[in-house]
Amino acid sequence: MDKPRVVMMDKDGFTAYMKRQRRSQGTIENCLQFTSEYHLYLVEKRGVMDLDKAVPEDLQNFIDWCEGKGKSPNSYLWGIGRYYEFSGNQEMQSYASRWRQGLIDKGRGKKKALNLRRIKGVNLRHIDKLAQIGVMDTGKLLESGKTKAERENLALESGVPEEDVFELVKLADLTRIVDIKAVRVRLLYDAGIETIEQLSQFNAQELRSRLLKVNQEKHILKRDPTLIEANYWIKQAGDTPRIVEC
């Protein structure tokens, strides 16, 4: 009986698909690498010769294998999910996306505060003034600037105008959303989405359309946010406690 043949991954088609999505060259290379390693695992460890013949159990075993090797399943699942999106395998794409989100949710409480200097477009003179009174990251800023009275006090102590302190507080608050970091938070803010409450009220298509328009005008991100990302941000915003007093 003939030995089953390995069905090669369609690297050219996958690459062309990601280029149409305006993925960066680095992102494309990472996705190809992650998916290739997953395919190799399927062949060698699970006897699955075709990526599209894999089942959720195979993917779960791969996640366990990654963790056992000290690799980050999160990154692999992102690339694998994009491949299944390309191949039209909705079931496996859904599993990859769901498990990745589960891993992200697990780490939400461990998210580190972001240095204020890293936020795109901030006034560095203001950041330096805040640093002189011990406020250097998003965690400390939210801790000491949640209420109007606290922001008035920060303005007096630092010499930063109160309206600028408030803008920084709102930017810091938005970074509590997973995946919203130094650059993406600027895109949201420049698109008129200044609070978690506002973000929670969008639908995914409407949010993505607004962000695409601003990004095309200002070129803030190298690639546009996806519909999946927009939907995930909105869902998180709905689940995130409100801590900033407007």
- Compute CA distances 217 → 123, 147, 187, 189, whole Å: 21, 34, 11, 14
User: Cα(15)–Cα(133) distance, rounded to whole angstroms?
Assistant: 49
Residue 104, pLDDT score? 67
Q: What is the pLDDT of residues 160-210, one digit of tens each?
A: 999 999 999 999 999 999 889 899 999 999 999 999 999 999 999 999 999
Domains of the chain in start order, with CATH, are: 11-106 (1.10.150), 116-239 (no CATH)
Q: Measured between alpha carbons, how far is 226 from 232 in angstroms, rounded to an integer? A: 10
**Whole-number Å distance between alpha carbons of 221 and 166:** 24
Q: How far is Cα 232 from Cα 224, in angstroms, rounded to an integer?
A: 15
Q: Determine the 3-state secondary structure of 3 from DSSP.
A: coil
- Indicate the average pLDDT of the chain: 90
What is the spatial distance between Cα 69 and Cα 71, in angstroms, rounded to a whole number? 5
pTM of the model: 0.61
How many C-beta neighbours within 10 Å does residue 214 have?
19
How far apart are alpha carbons 32 and 26 in whole angstroms? 10
Coarse DSSP helix, strand, coil percentages of the chain, rounded to the nearest 5 percent? 65, 0, 30
Q: What is the DSSP letter of 52?
A: G
Compute φ and ψ for 135, nearest 5 degrees: -105, 100
Q: What is the pLDDT of residue 113?
A: 87
> What is the structure's pLDDT at 189?
97
pLDDT at 105: 66
Ranges of the chain with pLDDT below 50: none
- For 67, 139, 243, the CA distances from 169, given in Å and listed in that order, are 36, 10, 11
Q: What is the DSSP letter of 236?
A: H
Tell how many helices (H) and how many strands (E) occur in the chain.
Answer: 13, 0
Measured distance CA(183)–CA(113) in Å, rounded: 15
The first and second tokens of residue 185, run together, are 């938070």
pLDDT digits (tens, 9 = 90+) for 223-233: 888 888 888 89
First to last CA, the chain: 72
The confidence score (pLDDT) of residue 110 equals 54
Report pLDDT for 145: 94
d(CA 101, CA 188): 21
Which pLDDT belongs to residue 66?
87
